[in-house]
Homo-oligomer: A and B are copies of this chain.
Amino acid sequence: MTNTKLKEERTRGYFIEATKEILRGEGSKALSVRNIAERAGYSYATLYNYFKDQTELISLSLLDFKDECRDAVNQNIRKSKPGKPEIKAIVVSYINYFVQYPGVFDLFYIEKLASKKVNNQVVSFLDSLCEEDWNYLIDNQIYSKTEIEYKRKTLNNATIGVLMSYLKRSTPSDYSELLRDIDVTMDTILP
**A residues in contact (CB < 8 Å) with B:** 109-110, 113, 116, 119-120, 122-123, 149-151, 153-154, 156-162, 164-165, 168-171, 181, 184-185, 187-189
Contact = CB atoms under 8 A, between A and B. Distances in A.
B188 A150 contact: yes
A44 to B, nearest CB: 23
A130 to B, nearest CB: 15
Contacts of A156: 161, 165
A153 B185 contact: yes
Interface SS of A by simple majority: helix
Contacts of A188: 150-151, 153-154, 189
Given A110-B110, A158-B158, A160-B160, 6 more contacts: A109-B168, A123-B169, A150-B188, A153-B184, A154-B154, A154-B184
B160 A164 contact: yes
Nearest to A157: B161
B122 A187 contact: no
Contact of A120 (B160, B171, B184): B171
A159 B160 contact: no
13 contacts: A109-B169, A113-B169, A150-B184, A150-B187, A153-B185, A154-B154, A154-B158, A154-B184, A154-B185, A157-B157, A160-B160, A160-B165, A161-B161
A121 to B, nearest CB: 10
A111 to B, nearest CB: 9
Contacts of A122: 169
A164 B119 contact: no
A165 B110 contact: no
Contacts of A113: 169
A138 to B, nearest CB: 16
